[in-house]
Amino acid sequence: MNAKLIISIAKSLLLARWRQTLVAAIGVTFSITMFITLLGFMNGLNDLLDNLILNRTPHVRLFNEIKANKNQPINLSERYKAYHNFISSIKPSGNSIEIRNNGLIMQALRNDDRVLGISPKMTAQVFYNVGDIDITGVVNGVDVEAESKLFFFQDYVTEGSYLDLKNVPNSIILGKGAAEKMLARIGDVIQITTPKGERFPLKVVGFFQSGIVEIDKVQSYASIKTAQKLLGQTNSYVTDIQVKLKDIKMAPALSKEYAHVFNTDAEDIQTANSQFETGSSIRSLISYAVGITLLIVAGFGIYNILNMMIYEKMDTIAILKATGFSGKDVNRIFITIALSIGFFGGITGLISGFLLSSVIDQIPFNTAALPTVTTYPINYNAKFYFIGISFSLITTYFAGLFPARKASKIDPVDIIRGK
């Protein structure tokens, strides 16, 4: 049968019950709107939460872990090789946390085409001196320019300038929580006690805020040269080499490769932050589940409306079949009705979802823990819009399929006889 004629009849049936059609379309529109808004917000939130940690985490971290030697002398002895030796209270071996030959290692990494950049780092356990009280802290010695380029360090400095770490000798950027404990302000000179018991004055040039309160109460940042002075080490002393890759998916494999080649311990970002990836996946799954549930509920509404339309239009269907329309033609008419509701309701829902997301995106977001975040996070990924309209059409298609089959099997003779 002519496609234009089928579309024309479907249009007439839709307009004849325009109120019910409008209700069904509004149901689809609402579902798609909430689907787009929910996914955009939840994935934007995922990106925000993950970036707070992942932006500050190297894809591969090279370090030396202090651990006990597995090859104890008794196990190496020929006399006791045939025995099971139970050894308790094993002490770590005398290996250092310093990465030996770090200059050669960093040069090799810079020459690796898979590496985007590297940033050396060292960590010093210290005490912040507040009068007679000592507060446990950690000073991270970093290459300021590399840290900013690769790990967005400047985005987390809420007051002061991150470049002052490089330009001002013996300077420090305090975690916001640590600064509040010490009542420190920019320009103040604070005292730090090193692990060797020596006191060291440092000038406060800024405040750092990661968004994780417990970290901000302990951690602070200094240039790597200043941190080396704190520990009384040479300019070559480095405890960590942070590697940023061009492809983050290569991190697990390269971590194992670097550990073998450079004879160091290595940890990839997926292992270090597996809990964040799990949390993001669960939140995304919940968003999809809620959105799809809304679409299925809207589909039941369309199913009921088409069922009612069939009962009310029995005589019309009988006339169509009596005048030469086949069961397939009648099936196509009702499928066209369902898809029309899904398409126009879905398109309107996409537009409404985008507009609602834009409104949410402009709402001020103020929290002391995340001062650099000023608005609610929204992800406008085109994938969500494609999934939304696809599910809209699929749901409405199946919602119309069963009523359409029922309509296609109606015998016009029975209807005319009044059966």
Q: What are the 10-residue block averages of pLDDT along the chain, 419 residues in total? A: 74 74 80 84 76 78 75 67 68 71 90 92 88 85 89 85 89 90 89 86 90 83 90 88 90 91 88 67 74 73 69 68 75 81 87 89 68 70 86 80 74 60
| pTM (predicted TM-score) | 0.64
Q: What is the structure's pLDDT at 400?
A: 77
Pairing mode, strands 265-268 and 189-193: unpaired
Q: What is the structure's pLDDT at 105?
A: 92
Q: How far is C-alpha 344 from the geometric centre of its chain's CA atoms?
A: 32
Q: What is the structure's pLDDT at 106?
A: 92
The amino acid sitting at 385 is Y
d(CA 242, CA 258): 12
d(CA 118, CA 241): 7
Q: What is the structure's pLDDT at 89?
A: 65
